Chain A
């Protein structure tokens, strides 16, 4: 029983590694599926903006309201903009945005690709001599890899705006002063690793979601399972990548 589980685990790791290599290799093969890439970028990026906006705004607002009393007690209210911004840029923004992204985009990709598997659309692509991984997977993985960092940077700024709203509920400060105060505490070392890790988050979400959709073949029941496991495993991957990046950053700085 344990032996089987271990075997299955390594088989799964080998399969996902092979799938990842195929996906990356197909990105560089001509002709490029530019039209599909733009369509997927629009779907995963632009269509996710409203959700990210609301989440980021609330994140900044709540973080400010919750942190303020402690800082006031310590007489360090002036540190609030910088502290919130550092928290958002380094951790909260990338991780929460990536989790929302996995929930919305990852589940959509898993369900869509799996329903194409169930209705034999992927088989139809294969028998017509085209490469479904190139058309379906590589384009989606590239789109999620490039769109998530943009969404995270956008979410960071919206969260800062939310923080400003939270701050002005009790204090009076201009938007420019708040911004200056927030940015004065930020270094490049806060921004660079945080942005770099979002590329890996996006790539992880894309690969996991496509993989789950592509290989699960359990009929219509499988569509739900694919969507569900795309979200669950993507979320887990986000935390694992985050842990690794934090450790690496900690060693470097």
Chain B
């Protein structure tokens, strides 16, 4: 799976710190995401994994540090510039975060109409159908989120992310709350998306099977720090992975 170009980085994080009150959640985080790479951030609940990717899209403001996305420090740009960068980043939320007043198709059209203004309007339906087909949800496109199962919601969230053709995808616990079979499906989907769209990804998870299936490289996180780095085979016999 190591087909990424190691010279080109799409995300650079340097000396990142973040606290909530007295609780330091991120403590001197440094890493890079290379183009075409699937990077897994593995750690227990509360380790600071989700806060890290929330900082990358500026949903949380770090206390200090540098976050460069495509070479631009996103902590220094105005909202308009930030939104241009955000449109190149897909984000899969833990619960899917689907808009519950809209059908699945409308969920995909919402960012499409507002985020891809240069895309011909007549092609919207085709693109939505194409993306829904790629995640196996074409036949339920007129259903609202409350009519979908947990696994379907994750797939739908992923479809909404893919519709903007992102260059980077951030997955926040993509397999949490799912049964082992559906988790396996989602992990396979993450791999197939990378093969199909050739995007870079950060996958935040505590699921070893998901990490094994999807990772080109793994960063192990504990108490807001990276404590180990390598691929699955390097790390599988360490105490962090047992």
Q: Which residues of A contact B (CB under 8 A)?
A: 31, 116, 119-121, 123-131
A123-B59, A124-B91 known; A129 vs B86 contact (CB < 8 Å): yes
Query: Which chain B residues in 47-97 approach chain A with CB under 8 Å?
Result: 57, 59, 83-84, 86-87, 89, 91, 93-95, 97
Contacts of A129 in B (CB 8 A): 83-84, 86-87, 111, 114-115, 164
Chain B residue nearest in CB terms to A130: B114
Give the residues in chain A near B57, CB-CB below 8 Å: 126-127
Residue of A at shortest CB range from B172? A120
Is the C-beta of B31 less than 8 angstroms from some C-beta in chain A? no
Complex Cα distance, B145 from A121, in Å, reads: 12
Say whether, besides A119-B100, A121-B98, A121-B100, A126 and B84 are in contact (CB < 8 Å).
no
**A184, B74: Cα distance in complex, Å:** 66
Cα separation A130 to B160 with both chains bound (whole Å): 13
B95 touching A127 by the CB < 8 A rule? no
Complex Cα distance A121/B111, Å? 12
Are B86 and A127 interface neighbours, CB within 8 A? yes
Size category, B interface: 20 to 34
What are the interface flags for B91-133 relative to A under an 8 Å C-beta threshold, 1 for contact and 0 otherwise? 1011101111000000000110011000000000000000000
How far does the Cβ of B104 sit from chain A's closest Cβ, in whole Å?
A: 14
Q: Looking at the assembled complex, report how far the CB atom of A115 sits from the nearest CB atom of chain B, in whole angstroms.
A: 8
Residues of A within 8 A of B59 (CB): 123, 126-127
Cβ of B97 and Cβ of A120 under 8 Å apart?
Answer: yes
Checking A116, A120, A130 against B115 with a beta-carbon cut-off of 8 angstroms, the contacting residue is A130
Q: How far is the CA of A125 from the CA of B113 in the complex (A)?
A: 12
Chain A to chain B: the 6 pairs with minimum beta-carbon distance, closest first: A128-B111, A129-B87, A129-B83, A124-B97, A120-B97, A129-B86
Decide: A128 and B115 in contact? CB cutoff 8 A. Answer: yes
Chain B residue with Cβ nearest A126? B59
A129-B114, A131-B83 given; 9 more Cβ-contact pairs under 8 Å: A119-B95, A120-B93, A121-B97, A121-B100, A126-B57, A128-B160, A129-B83, A129-B86, A129-B115
Q: Decide: B87 and A128 in contact? CB cutoff 8 A.
A: yes
Q: Are A130's CB and B111's CB within 8 A?
A: yes
Q: List 28 A-B contacts (CB under 8 A).
A: A31-B114, A116-B99, A120-B94, A120-B95, A121-B97, A121-B98, A121-B99, A123-B93, A124-B91, A124-B98, A124-B99, A124-B160, A125-B110, A125-B111, A126-B86, A127-B57, A127-B86, A127-B91, A128-B86, A128-B87, A128-B111, A128-B114, A128-B115, A128-B164, A129-B87, A129-B111, A130-B111, A131-B83
